Amino acid sequence: MELRKDPITRSWVIAGHRQEACETTGGCPFCPDKTNSKIALLRLPSEGPSQVVVLPHPDPLYRIEGDPDRRADGIYDQMQPVGADEIVIETPEHNCKFEDLTEDQIVLVMEAWRRRVEDLKRDLRFKYVSIYKNYGPLAGQEGSHSNSQITATTFMPRRVLYELRAAREWFKEKERCVFCDIVKQEERRGNRIVDTQGEYVALCPYASRVPYEVWVLSRRHNHMFEQPRPGTNRKHLAALLRRILRRIRQIAPAYHLVVHSSPNTAHSKGENSLQYWKTIADDYHWHIEILPIVETRSKSYNIKEVYYNAILPEEAAERLRNLDPIA
Ligand SMILES: [Zn+2]
Ligand SMILES: [Zn+2]
Ligand SMILES: [Zn+2]
């Protein structure tokens, strides 16, 4: 496998084969008795089976060893897929879903995300650490055991790069954070708000790309997910996330969840340098995006050039608000 850069859009593409992780021989590789070579293990104070385990991906897209070895191929750019590819096993119980975990257990999963991001950002080769979760076969979930994934890359994922550039431009012009502006206006209008808890707000974004798209943001400005502001209560975030996902599962069989947060600003050169992102602490704002996959409306995923969303975000928010959040 190698990374190739599209010379027009400047986005990196992973090219080459990857073997599908299979569960057929020896059962689920993420059940407690199968998980050797742990990167991290977190337990609730009550101990017992409530724990979160982080493992290296059994068939990684990115390899931790070596140098990206960036080089030219004629006019093109390529590099080795150096990075980290880790699996966060959210529960020891094979059949338990993320949104069925207790709030404390979800806080523990988020603590595992936080610690891995903090640790991987110490490696200056990495420009960005992604946290994401694919739920359901339609979303490409790996294995049936509830898990999320952490990847560290030597390049910026395209969507995050767009967000960072746009947020920086907004700040330059208005000296305000675009995400704080969004939260304020949405809370004033109310028609796209789905639910709130403590400092956290869940809303259907104005230009939702897919039906029932939901963003979860904090009202308090912070650019880094892994460094919560003093007084932050992640239990409120866990409770809100749980209620949102329990609503979404009543209308969609699958979803993608992604945490968008600040890149590795310790990185010393290129787009990530402190010089380039010098206002990042003020202009960027971490958030969670949830993109449900509604089977019958999957058209919006096929036409990737322009998103077509058949359901207005205001209607989506209203429907989500009216669904039972504990069903
Ligand atoms: Zn399992
Ligand atoms: Zn903000
Ligand atoms: Zn985002």
What separation in Å is there between the alpha carbon of 77 and the centre of ligand 3?
Answer: 27
66-92 average pLDDT score: 92
Residue 169's alpha-carbon distances to 9, 25, 175, 217, 298, in angstroms, are 19, 52, 9, 20, 33
What separation in Å is there between the alpha carbon of 205 and the centre of ligand 3?
Answer: 11
Report d(CA 158, CA 155) in Å as an integer. 9
What separation in Å is there between the alpha carbon of 306 and the centre of ligand 3?
Answer: 17
What separation in Å is there between the alpha carbon of 178 and the centre of ligand 2?
Answer: 7
Q: At what angle do helices 103-120 and 234-248 cross, to 10 degrees?
A: 110
> With 60 as the cut, is the pLDDT of residue 301 above it?
no
Report d(CA 212, CA 128) in Å as an integer. 27
Query: Whose atoms come closest to the Cα of 160: which ligand?
Result: 3
Exposure on the CB side of residue 236, measured as CA atoms within 13 A: 16
Report d(CA 141, CA 137) in Å as an integer. 5
> The tokens of 308 are what?
């077509």
What separation in Å is there between the alpha carbon of 96 and the centre of ligand 1?
Answer: 9
Q: Are 241 and 100 in contact (CB under 8 A)?
A: no
What separation in Å is there between the alpha carbon of 268 and the centre of ligand 3?
Answer: 24
Q: Lowest mean pLDDT: which of 204-208, 224-228, 293-297?
A: 293-297
Query: Whose atoms come closest to the Cα of 282: which ligand?
Result: 2
Mean pLDDT of the chain: 89
What separation in Å is there between the alpha carbon of 292 and the centre of ligand 3?
Answer: 15
> With 70 as the cut, is the pLDDT of residue 307 above it?
yes
List the Cα angle 311/312/315 in 5-degree steps.
Answer: 95
What separation in Å is there between the alpha carbon of 5 and the centre of ligand 3?
Answer: 22
Query: Whose atoms come closest to the Cα of 221: which ligand?
Result: 2
Report d(CA 116, CA 149) in Å as an integer. 10
What separation in Å is there between the alpha carbon of 232 and the centre of ligand 2?
Answer: 15
What separation in Å is there between the alpha carbon of 90 and the centre of ligand 3?
Answer: 23
Tell me the per-residue pLDDT of 258-267, one tens digit each, with 9 for 90 and over.
Answer: 999 999 987 6
What separation in Å is there between the alpha carbon of 108 and the centre of ligand 3?
Answer: 23
Residue at 92: amino acid letter: P
Tell me the per-residue pLDDT of 24-53, one tens digit each, with 9 for 90 and over.
Answer: 567 898 988 776 778 878 877 666 666 899
Cβ-based neighbours of 154, under 8 Å, separated by 6 or more: 68, 79, 82, 83, 125, 126, 127
Phi/psi class of residue 25: alpha, beta or left (left: φ > 0; alpha: ψ in -120 to 50)?
A: beta
Query: Whose atoms come closest to the Cα of 92: which ligand?
Result: 1
What separation in Å is there between the alpha carbon of 7 and the centre of ligand 1?
Answer: 42
Tell me the per-residue pLDDT of 180-193, one tens digit each, with 9 for 90 and over.
Answer: 999 999 999 999 99
Greater model confidence, 117 or 44: 117
Residue 266's pLDDT is: 78
Tell me the per-residue pLDDT of 209-254, one tens digit each, with 9 for 90 and over.
Answer: 999 999 999 999 999 999 999 999 999 999 999 999 999 999 999 9
pLDDT band of 275, cuts 50, 70, 90: low
86-106 average pLDDT score: 95
Cβ-based neighbours of 52, under 8 Å, separated by 6 or more: 41, 42, 88, 89, 90, 91, 105, 108, 109, 111, 112
pTM: 0.92
pLDDT band of 302, cuts 50, 70, 90: low
Q: Lowest mean pLDDT: which of 36-40, 163-167, 323-327?
A: 36-40
> With 90 as the cut, is the pLDDT of residue 286 above it?
yes
pLDDT band of 64, cuts 50, 70, 90: confident
> With 90 as the cut, is the pLDDT of residue 131 above it?
yes
What separation in Å is there between the alpha carbon of 287 and the centre of ligand 3?
Answer: 6
Q: What percent of the chain has pLDDT over 90?
A: 71
Domains of the chain in sequence order: 2-322 (3.30.428.10)
